Structure 1
Amino acid sequence: MTRAFVAIGGNLGDARDAVVRAMGAIGALPGTHLLARSSLYRSAPVDAAGPDFINAVVAVETTLAPLALLAALQGLEQDAGRERPYRNAPRTLDLDLLVHGETVMDTPVLTLPHPRMAQRAFVLQPLAEIAPERVGAAALALVADQAITRL
């Protein structure tokens, strides 16, 4: 089993419901067990337009390899009606694989650890809630200017 962390977000439709449903769906993936889920957070879009996002992070243990987990996450996005009309478009559901054990990879399909996670309060705040050992005070200070509210 490998411990992985997944960021969850959405800003179209009933985003709160979509994020909560995604938490359960991720834990129900084959070979995957939900370990922890953060609170829900509201954040302004970063490098995007549209309504505020609802965000969370979950920790799982999984037997799925990184690319298999990514494919399963993208299937959940598609099931939730995710469309990709352009980069950073508003979305019903966005699932980002942040960390997969100690895996380090950089391919056209997947980069691990997630290359922009340290730049995003909507990832670091919920991650710090469920895995404080992974997010230091200095990292949180770097994103302190980004608007985020714990719900």
Structure 2
Amino acid sequence: MTIENSSTLRSALAAVNLRADRFEPYLYALLRTVFAIVLFTHGVPKALRTSHGSMADPMAGSINLIQNVMGLPFAAQLAFLVMLLETVGALMLAVGLATRLVALLIAIQMLAISYALGPTWPWIDRDIEFPVLMGFLALYIVARGGGAHSVDARLGAG
């Protein structure tokens, strides 16, 4: 590669970076919102006790997972909290209200789901990659906060 080609490539990359930097706050808000929508689509069927995918009763499925797979007490109450996190928490995340707290709770939930779907980490058979990915995305949101386009930013809470 010649010096001239290298300089042209560097200039082109700088131009792309400059344009991408302008869109970053909007794209982060979109990422946060889409993440919340995905989470919300899992909470609403639990709240309404309607079928979701292959689950006839997602709330009953959550109670079963918490009680029989994870062996935790108060399964119905914990499942109710999961439903609240996936509905009310998702709405809060979408608008960027208490973003870091909500995202931290989601990360903990995804860790618990990943644990319950393990311990052999069957990537294809049990779809564990989705809660793992969502857990790490939630951790990123914890670190990043609500962003420029959030209620948190308007309240000065970052």
Report the TM-score, using the length of structure 2 for normalisation.
0.25
Tell me which structure has the larger Cα radius of gyration.
2
Return the structure number with greater helix share. Answer: 2
Return the structure number with greater strand share. Answer: 1
Higher relative contact order (CA 8 A, sep 6+): 1
